């Protein structure tokens, strides 16, 4: 029988590595503290309405294809993918919005209408973004973050300037329209940092947006989790839910010997943790932790979020499946996330209405809406504050889209910092892990392999390559490859 590997958590990264490790012949058991699998991508179902609790944007379909292809499968073996047309809508004020179509040619037309001459710049920008995508997502992001040399390839060497310039500078060089700038700066928000703090090289996210498009797995993001769990089971992975890992045990040679799950001692050869990195290290004796509390406290974390899952008893007008409300100053909101952590006075927010295109989310004639305000991690979280912000965004939704919705609410559920801590052992209640700024990129991120404990590995959005569903899939592969390489030596 193969070696025993215990995987902590069942988020995208853990599921990804569980599949790779099982395929390589390991006996894999996944331990998940929650009742259901999927980590931050779980599902909330109530009264005929369905909500994805976490991720809603399906970008970079090629990464999912590559993952399933590694097992001789296709995404369509497990879920149905539809390209959203239009991709999304962005509000800048009352009755003032831009809708981003599904095709790049149509996007160029929209740009030209907004700012004469901008389409020429957009084409050049997206071409450079595509080149970076081909270098980054097809190669560089699959490297394990061990050495700075991993970043040095013939293609990255000629682009070194792009690591030291920022997306903000790059976008603003040629485009002047404030609205178009906001649209072009939006994709890097997925990386968890401000555009003014994100290297220009990351414009590959713009190619993911305009070049590859926005997709929707019918039934929601949770269908992808279900697909990966099915694949994992087909490969022999065992799952244990309501299974809290309390401790990682080591022998006198600082080698993993077992884990304690709900008080039960389980022997294991290796541990791979997809739980938040800070929490995983807290399961070790203090002298076996690699990173101090000060280290974590001085990292730039991606935002936390205040979310609302709302059931409406009618269809909502003038919105799309994905709708961004960018009618307030982004720089001021960003300051309250990254510089002086506080509740934003005039928050930007994002809303998802999947029932607009997918009837499985709400009963006929009803709408399921998810609302998200990005926030500073660790911020005070009380019911009163949540209610205050709910009123703010519902009123803004009403005003900007010109309709009454408040009295059409059947129920709502909120989710914020305290829930992220309680449900996922998330450091300071972060939602998306560690931001991808230059000083927290690649080999500068927390390591996949523990330097202090033998046979202990990490995966997920706090390690390489970073936050987001596609990076989490890649992270699972990177961690597994590293384990397999180490054992083949």
Ligand X SMILES: Cc1cc2nc3c(=O)[nH]c(=O)nc-3n(C[C@H](O)[C@H](O)[C@H](O)COP(=O)(O)OP(=O)(O)OC[C@H]3O[C@@H](n4cnc5c(N)ncnc54)[C@H](O)[C@@H]3O)c2cc1C
Cβ contacts of residue 187 below 8 Å, gap of 6+? 205, 206, 208, 209
Looking at residues 285 to 324 of the shown chain, list those that interact with ligand X (rule: CB under 6 A).
305, 307
473 binds ligand X (CB under 6 A): no
User: In which residue are the tokens 């331990």 written?
Assistant: 31
Question: Quick one: which of 146, 151, 181, 244 contacts ligand X (CB under 6 A)?
Answer: 244
6 binds ligand X (CB under 6 A): no
367 binds ligand X (CB under 6 A): no
Q: Which is nearer to ligand X, 6 or 118 (CB)?
A: 6
75 binds ligand X (CB under 6 A): no
| Token digits of residue 213 | 């498009």
Question: Quick one: which of 20, 26, 49, 57 contacts ligand X (CB under 6 A)?
Answer: 57
3-state secondary structure of 187: helix
**What phi, psi does 89 have (nearest 5°)?**
-125, 145
Length of the chain: 489
CA distance 442 to 6: 25
368 binds ligand X (CB under 6 A): no
β-sheet with 322-325: strand ranges across? 96-100, 88-93, 322-325, 349-352, 367-375, 304-312, 409-415
3-state secondary structure of 296: helix
Q: Which stretch binds ligand X (CB under 6 A): 65-73, 154-162, 250-258, 426-434?
A: 426-434
Cβ contacts of residue 405 below 8 Å, gap of 6+? 312, 314, 316, 394, 397, 398
220 binds ligand X (CB under 6 A): no
Q: Which stretch binds ligand X (CB under 6 A): 33-41, 84-92, 129-137, 443-451?
A: 33-41
Q: Which is nearer to ligand X, 121 or 333 (CB)?
A: 333
- Burial (CB < 10 A; 0-12, 13-18, 19+), residue 28, is buried
34 binds ligand X (CB under 6 A): yes
Q: Which stretch binds ligand X (CB under 6 A): 67-75, 111-119, 389-397, 430-438?
A: 430-438
Q: Which stretch binds ligand X (CB under 6 A): 35-43, 105-113, 156-164, 385-393?
A: 35-43
Element (H, E) at 64: helix 61-69
Q: Which is nearer to ligand X, 55 or 258 (CB)?
A: 55
Question: Quick one: which of 6, 7, 9, 437 contacts ligand X (CB under 6 A)?
Answer: 9
Residues that bind ligand X (CB under 6 A): 8-14, 31-34, 39-41, 54-57, 244-245, 274-275, 279, 305, 307, 372, 424-425, 431-433, 460-461, 467-469, 472
């Amino acid at each position: 029988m193969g070696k025993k590997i215990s995987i902590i958590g069942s988020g995208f990264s853990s599921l990804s590595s569980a599949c790779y490790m099982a395929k390589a012949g390991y006996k894999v058991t996944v331990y998940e503290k929650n009742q259901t699998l999927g980590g931050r991508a779980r599902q909330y179902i109530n009264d005929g309405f369905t909500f994805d609790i976490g991720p809603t944007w399906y970008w970079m379909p090629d990464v999912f294809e590559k993952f399933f292809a590694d097992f001789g499968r296709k995404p369509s073996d497990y879920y149905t993918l539809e390209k959203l047309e239009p991709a999304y809508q962005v509000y800048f004020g009352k009755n003032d919005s831009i809708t981003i179509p599904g095709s790049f040619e149509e996007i160029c037309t929209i740009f030209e209408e907004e700012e004469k001459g901008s389409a020429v710049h957009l084409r050049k920008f997206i071409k450079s973004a595509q080149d970076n995508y081909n270098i980054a997502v097809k190669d560089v992001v699959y490297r394990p973050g061990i050495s700075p040399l991993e970043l040095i390839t013939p293609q990255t060497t000629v682009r070194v300037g792009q690591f030291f310039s920022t997306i903000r500078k790059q976008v603003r060089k040629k485009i002047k329209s404030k609205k178009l700038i906001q649209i072009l700066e939006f994709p890097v928000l997925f990386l968890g940092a401000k555009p003014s703090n994100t290297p220009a090289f990351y414009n590959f996210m713009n190619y993911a947006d305009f070049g590859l498009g926005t997709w929707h797995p019918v039934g929601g993001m949770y269908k992808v989790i279900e697909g990966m769990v099915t694949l994992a089971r087909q490969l022999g992975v065992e799952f244990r839910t309501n299974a809290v890992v309390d401790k990682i045990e080591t022998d006198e040679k600082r080698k993993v010997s077992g884990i304690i799950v709900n008080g039960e001692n389980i022997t294991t050869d290796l541990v791979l943790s997809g739980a938040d990195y800070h929490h995983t290290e807290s399961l070790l004796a203090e002298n076996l932790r690699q990173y101090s509390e000060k280290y974590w406290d001085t990292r730039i974390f991606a935002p936390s979020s205040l979310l609302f899952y709302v059931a409406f008893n009618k269809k909502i007008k003038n919105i799309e499946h994905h709708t961004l409300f960018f009618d307030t100053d982004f720089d001021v909101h960003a300051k309250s996330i990254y510089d002086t952590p506080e509740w934003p006075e005039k928050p930007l927010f994002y809303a998802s209405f999947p029932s607009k295109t997918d009837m499985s989310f709400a009963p006929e004639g009803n709408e399921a809406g998810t609302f998200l305000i990005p926030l500073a991690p660790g911020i005070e979280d009380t019911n009163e504050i949540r209610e205050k912000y709910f009123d703010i965004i519902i009123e803004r939704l009403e005003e900007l889209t010109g309709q009454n919705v408040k009295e059409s609410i059947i129920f709502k559920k909120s989710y914020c910092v305290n829930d992220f801590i309680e449900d996922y052992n998330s450091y300071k209640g972060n939602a998306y892990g560690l931001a991808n700024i230059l000083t927290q990129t690649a080999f500068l991120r927390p390591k996949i392999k523990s330097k202090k404990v033998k046979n202990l590995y990490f995966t997920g959005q706090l390690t390489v390559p970073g936050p987001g569903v596609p990076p989490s899939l890649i992270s699972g592969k990177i961690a597994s490859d590293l384990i397999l390489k180490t054992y083949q030596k």
